Structure 1
């Protein structure tokens, strides 16, 4: 690893002390080759559920060059479903910890996987649906249902070339659909691979070969 990178983690219902100190936080780990060699990879809290009302049992996390996006698994109706925050926000850098946080969607009570593809955000609910929403800061953020044919959708990932893959835990499979659309609309899910208990997904770039799907 030649350049520094940022790793975002979510910690939900983690017992960090006595029961009355149960915390729900979003953590950031900034790593480089030097920090790994020196063992300096301690996480830091960027958002805490004690001060940010839109952080409740965080699930999937995604990020771009400026924002971090997360889903709540116990969000509706108050905390919301899909949330956007400043990637580098901390209690020390902004007086109000919620100042950089924006509710993008509140349509589902429990969601799991979220991924960015072009100008859109895609995310899965607990039961059968895959949703899409425009992520432009000037957008009205209207949620569209992309598919309701899944059985237990979980993680999703974009290959960066116009295809999004979605894991379906109940169907033991990974499905794909074309994501390069300006206007969000329903898409047919095509099985891409059989995978027992499919849950989290990542794209492994293997040079000039087709990207691989990792569980």
Structure 2
């Protein structure tokens, strides 16, 4: 699906410049694919509605419409650049990986809540690991995007939350190890936990 969408965008660049409909077409495809958080999906729908509203009152070649379309396409492009898709993986590999903050720990089955004000730029979340294989590099992905790489065995640490990682709603954290310590290798360890961002 992702490859098809990128190919379509390359073949239809002239259409992207001249029509606002692409801002509606691609979000529709993305939403039907079920990617991203609810907040991200709503943001794209709102952007699409803005483009449609503008196109109904100004001409198709208007700089206003072209600017809105460019912004929408950029948003969509960033939105679909997923670096890791763990949908086909079950938990596997040595040890445990959990998230922890003042609201509780996933090790205890608690829901991890992160309260975020509108002006919050950066936050951190803790992880706790036990007997993971420290001979392999661990990639930590948030919503499919690489957040950081760490050498993890038994211990604890933190990683940053910013930008879309602080968007309202549930977010997926995946700790992944590859057999060759490179993202093109075979996945040998996979751990998945969630946290939820709540407006404060």
Q: For the superposition of Structure 1 and Structure 2, which TM-score range results when normalised by the shorter chain?
A: under 0.3
**Higher normalized contact order (CA 8 Å, seq sep 6+, divided by chain length):** 2
Q: Give 1 or 2: higher helix fraction.
A: 2
